[in-house]
Structure 1
């Protein structure tokens, strides 16, 4: 099974939607920012309403693993939605959204502690781990150390330096004094071959920036 095959279809659809909203803003597509913001809140509501249990019930086996994967990706996609769209000025920076991100970050770290220790699921945790790394700019050294440690371990498991590149990018971000998504991913990186979504099936094939996925 490839990383793209573990994505819950509903959450994959929301990632595509969020990416499209970011592109609308950055490319100054037609449509008011107010409408785009409304669509962003609707996407966040759908993400929050996603049921990992329903995902696992649709599988013939390994339902416990599927529930874990569903919960991991639910929190990761929620973080992607808020952090990337706040950076694009689509969503505001409010105490409520900050508290939501903090809660998803804590939950995601707890889930990753389990899923990264399992040979059955750890290969699918690169993208969620990066999302935790971006959220960790708001957290403490413990979370950052957790992300760095597991990116190093993933590099050994997959046999490539891509997780190490992600580790360096995140470390630079943590020390930059900036907290925005686009400050972390300020240029293209060769992560798209490792990031769990095969976005090339939706948009014209070209290397994509991690900040837009």
Structure 2
């Protein structure tokens, strides 16, 4: 995918020349060792994406402040994977992971939510994506051992898991929001291995509904991946996504 984007002049140029491709955006869930490489000019690449964010936002609804941290999380996962394969941990990666998580925690959905008639829905979206990103950052960095499996860290993950599940259940009842919950739903599914079977059944049910609503098999693919992961019974982001997957949104 990276090569195809580069052939079109980079992400910024691609979105400007072919904005009609925005509805065909995909979620790439990749192992840490197979992240798209933006190490040459990471901040420039991130800024290029953010400059064209207006093309993306209508299709994923992730607040831009959080989307920026999502890109940085992916970049850190790519950087940290090489030392991990050598059984090494770079101290700067540990600090960067903690800084990332702190910025995600500092996001205030109430401040971001658009005032007016749909304030409650915007608040729900902001809360949902904040918790999803906090869980993704925590679990994916724990897979790389640059965030610890401590009681405090796991307690924070569990709190965000509760918030995310509450937000997803509420979103599933709102037609304007329910079409945009695939990625948070997948994140909830990864975290759900720490939870009971009823929670996992609920996530399966919503994914099944998403396939019908969106008219695509991608949520069913996500459901199959999560089922395989749940059957393994070993929690962890890279335990779930041990090879690349693509989910169309």
Per the shorter chain, which TM-score range? Answer: 0.7 to 0.9
Q: Tell me what 2:224 maps to.
A: 168
**How far apart, in 1, do the equivalents of 2:229 and 2:205 lie?**
16
Is the contact between residue 94 and residue 147 of structure 2 (CA under 8 Å) also seen in structure 1?
yes
List runs of 5+ in structure 2 lacking aligned partners.
Answer: 1-56
- Does 2:174 align with 1:121? no
List runs of 5+ in structure 1 lacking aligned partners.
Answer: 195-213
How many residues matched? 190
Provide the secondary structure at the position in 1 that maps to 2:176: coil
Provide the secondary structure at the position in 2 that maps to 1:186: coil
What does residue range 78-117 of structure 1 map to in structure 2 within 5 Å?
78-117=134-173
Which residue of 35, 44, 58 maps to 2:92?
35
Which residue of 106, 111, 126 maps to 1:70?
126
- Does 2:95 align with 1:51? no
**How far apart, in 2, do the equivalents of 1:32 and 1:86 lie?**
12
Q: Tell me what 1:199 maps to.
A: none
Provide the secondary structure at the position in 1 that maps to 2:246: coil
Which aligned runs of 4 or more in structure 1 are off by greater than 6 angstroms? none
Q: Tell me what 1:21 maps to.
A: 76
Q: Give deviations 1:25-76, integer Å, cap 9, x for gaps.
A: 12449x962111111111111111101111114x565222111100000100
What does residue range 144-163 of structure 1 map to in structure 2 within 5 Å?
144-163=200-219
Q: Tell me what 1:8 maps to.
A: 63
RMSD: 1.8
**How far apart, in 1, do the equivalents of 2:116 and 2:97 lie?**
33
Q: Which has the larger radius of gyration?
A: 2
Give the helix-richer structure, 1 or 2: 2
